[in-house]
Chains A and B, each alone.
Chain A
Amino acid sequence: MTVTYEEALTRYEPVFGLETHVELGTRTKMFCGCITTFGGDPNSQVCPVCLGLPGSLPVVNRTAIEYAIKIGLALNCSIASWCRFARKNYFYPDMPKNFQISQYDEPLCSDGYLDVAVGGEIVRIGIERVHLEEDTGKSLHVGGATGRIQGAEYSLVDYNRAGIPLVEIVTKPVPGTDSMAPDVARAYVTELRDVLRSLGVSDVRMEEGSMRCDVNTSLSVRGSGVWGTRTETKNVNSLRSVERSVRSEISRQAGVLDAGGRVIQETRHFHEDIGETTSGRSKEEAQDYRYFPEPDLVPVAPSADWVESVRASLPELPSARRSRLLDAWSLSELDFESMRNAGALDVIEATVSAGASSADARKWWMGELARRANEAGVELAYLAITPAEVARVSALVSAGTLNDRLAREVLDGVLAGEGTPDEVVEKRGLAVVSDDSALLSAIDEAIAANPDVAEKVRSGKVQASGVIVGAVMKATRGKADAARVRELVIERLS
């Protein structure tokens, strides 16, 4: 029984939560000195420790702790004054020790929040915990149809990734977002990604796996106050998938409940192609990881001084930046959001720093340049033009040297690699013709070529001058200041 999203929301209130794993951008692994560079030859970045060879021992990477504290502070968490690592015990070929060193009931950071802007409103997402753990190796499954586990004959394991530091960020459950749940979930992941990027702790590329999300969803019967069973959805590899997986789970669970069934607590797999989740292999029994404190590592007790020095080193966080820019640029939340979603904040700010007005900077980046970026299929920041150059073009327009049309041509030239804006103006001869005498000769030609129109203007129909102006603009290939031309035409014909 299929239920539409809208129908589902009439009967149920969704509650969601997110667990995000972030690969830290440290130079070396969590517990050993192997490098963390992506894409190395298989098993060329391993040592006795990350390979879990008998007798090997872990030693904590100080920078990983610092990055995790940074993340915790940026998410308004309390930082533990004393905590331990714990072993999470289970057997799996991509885990060399058959246990993962993680944290259990003593996370490094806890009880924080992240404010996200959705549709002009601020929603506060509670953060349950932020903790550190080690990543696993990677398996290639050989012999099956799709390269996935089902039907594979054997697997090939590469441990280069084993031991890379991971930070796990877990939200508290988020109720009360109603039909906006998918959007809020997406906005949270987006904001989290931006926070992490601004901290410089990870390159947070979902497509490359340095940021992975698991989405938990449950439904509560409207007005019952009782939360339902939640499912966990994995393989959510993009912002769009975060939104779609919440949406599809809401519909699916509503369908199950409406038909009188029970939602099974299980792990589901999201499929990008069909936009739906399917059931993962359900487990016979809940996994008992037999957590106990990691005996090979001593407790981590960050001093207050250390935590404060990390706090002092925090950059301006996205929410602070948003407040600042909303105020400085007199923007609406929606305008800001569209700029942020277009990835334009950095370039626009830089353009303003280079001397343009915020309105002009926005106009160029969100308009003409955004169009070109879309056409070329690249992000704004990767266009072949700098904020300083855009500021220069804007300045040339303000000074009257260029009009909008000419400015667009100058942009073309810069993007094509012809040089700086001034060099392009020079080479292509794009300056607005401001010399009246040059204009007058074009005007006289146009008048001579359009005698009937000229007669109308002389007899008082000033609007008709537009034809003459148009002809002059064409003759000058748009390099005239249209307003000035009009003045001169009317003068000439009066």
Chain B
Amino acid sequence: MITRDDIAHLARLSRLALSDEELDHLAPQLDQIISAVAQVQEVAAEGIPPTSHATGLTNVFRDDEPRPCLTPAEALSGAPAVELQRFKVPRILVEEG
């Protein structure tokens, strides 16, 4: 059973500033979905390896050779704000990590 507080926490982790109305609306839906997908736990799967890649491919590499890149104008073309040929972003509060 997932609570509205749990959903609010998930929203914060996912950087989604949901309104109270949205939280009220989404919480029961998510609860229902989570209960339904929890069905996977019914499956007996001891010793079954998980599949993360269906193709079975391994060792796909590229050579250490330079390839053409974007011009700064192309790189910055969609940017909401630019200064000194860099992406201008609002002040960052928390040190990385």
Q: Do A and B come into direct contact in the complex, CB within 8 Å?
A: yes
Partner-binding segment picked from B17-25, B29-37, B81-89: B81-89
Instruction: Determine whether A158 belongs to the interface, using a CB cutoff of 8 Å to chain B.
Output: yes
* A448 CB within 8 Å of chain B: no
Report whether B58 and A46 are in contact in the complex, using a CB–CB cutoff of 8 Å.
no
User: A38-52 vs B: 1/0 string, CB under 8 Å?
Assistant: 000111111110010
B35 to chain A: closest CB distance in Å? Answer: 21
> Quick one: CB contact mask for A290-330 with B, threshold 8 Å, 1 for yes?
00110101111110000000000000000000000000000
Q: Which residues of B contact A298 (CB under 8 A)?
A: 53, 55, 57-60
Contact B52 A293 (CB under 8 A): yes
Chain A's closest residue to B78 (CB) is: A53
Tell me if B91 and A51 are in contact (CB < 8 A): no
> Which residue on chain B has the smallest CB distance to residue A267?
B97
Residue ID in chain B nearest A156 by CB atoms:
B86
Taking the complex as formed, is B65 at the interface, i.e. its CB lies under 8 A from any CB of chain A? yes
A93–B92 CB distance below 8 A:
yes
Interface string of A19-30 (1 = CB under 8 A from B): 000000011100
Chain B residues contacting A364 (CB-CB under 8 Å) are none
Within 8 A of A (CB), among B36-87: 52-53, 55, 57-72, 75-76, 83-87
B72's closest neighbor in chain A, by CB?
Answer: A43
Binds B, one of A61-69, A463-471, A484-492: A61-69
Q: Cβ of A295 and Cβ of B52 under 8 Å apart?
A: yes
Let me know if A281 and B66 touch, CB within 8 A: no
CB of A63 within 8 A of CB of B64, answer yes
A300 to B62, CA, bound (A): 13
Flag whether B95 is at the interface (Cβ < 8 A).
yes
The interface residues of chain B lying within 8 Å CB-to-CB of A393 are none
Assess whether B53 is in contact with A299, with CB atoms less than 8 Å apart.
yes
Known A-B contacts A156-B86, A293-B52, A298-B59; A28 and B92 likewise in contact (beta carbons under 8 Å): no
Assess whether A299 is in contact with B85, with CB atoms less than 8 Å apart: no
Tell me whether A84 and B52 are in contact (CB under 8 A): yes
> In chain B, what residue has the closest Cβ to A136?
B96
Task: Please state if B53 and A155 are interface contacts (CB–CB under 8 Å).
Answer: no
| Choice from B64, B69, B86, B91 contacting A26 with Cβ under 8 Å | B64
When chains A and B are docked, how far (Å) is the Cα of A161 from the Cα of B39? Answer: 44
Whether the Cβ atoms of B91 and A156 lie closer than 8 Å is no
B95 adjacent to A65 (CB under 8 Å): no
CB-contact partner of A156 in B57, B60, B67, B84, under 8 A = B84
- Return B87 CB to nearest CB of chain A, in Å: 4
Question: Smallest distance from the beta carbon of B31 to chain A beta carbons, Å?
Answer: 20
Residues of B within 8 A of A26 (CB): 64
CA distance in complex: A155, B91 (Å): 6
A42 to B88, CA, bound (A): 12
The reply to whether the CB of B94 lies closer than 8 angstroms to some CB of chain A is yes
How close is B94's CB to chain A, nearest CB, in angstroms?
6
A159-B68 Cα distance, complex, nearest whole Å? 16
**Does A94 count as interface, using CB distance less than 8 angstroms?**
yes
CB-based nearest A residue for B71 = A44
Q: Which of A92-147 contact B (CB under 8 A)?
A: 92-94, 136, 139-141, 143
Give the residues in chain A near B83, CB-CB below 8 Å: 156
B94 partner residues in chain A, CB cutoff 8 A: 281, 283
Q: Does A32 contact B (CB under 8 A)?
A: yes
The CA-CA distance from A34 to B71 in the complex, in Å, is 12
Given contacts A34-B67, A156-B83, A159-B75, whether A62 and B58 have CB atoms under 8 Å apart is: no
A152 at the B interface (CB under 8 A): yes
Q: Residue on B with the closest CB to A96?
A: B87
Q: Which residues of A contact B75 (CB under 8 A)?
A: 43, 46, 51, 159
Task: Write out the residue numbers on chain B whose beta carbons fall within 8 Å of the beta carbon of A42.
Answer: 72, 84-86
A sample of 25 cross-chain residue pairs with beta-carbon separation below 8 angstroms, ordered by A number, consists of A27-B64, A28-B64, A34-B69, A43-B75, A43-B86, A46-B69, A46-B75, A47-B67, A48-B70, A51-B70, A61-B61, A62-B64, A65-B61, A90-B97, A93-B89, A141-B91, A149-B95, A154-B90, A154-B91, A156-B84, A159-B87, A283-B94, A287-B97, A298-B58, A299-B59
Other contacts beyond A93-B87, A293-B53: 16, CB < 8 A: A27-B64, A33-B68, A43-B86, A44-B71, A47-B70, A51-B75, A59-B60, A84-B52, A141-B92, A149-B92, A156-B83, A267-B97, A292-B52, A298-B58, A298-B59, A299-B58
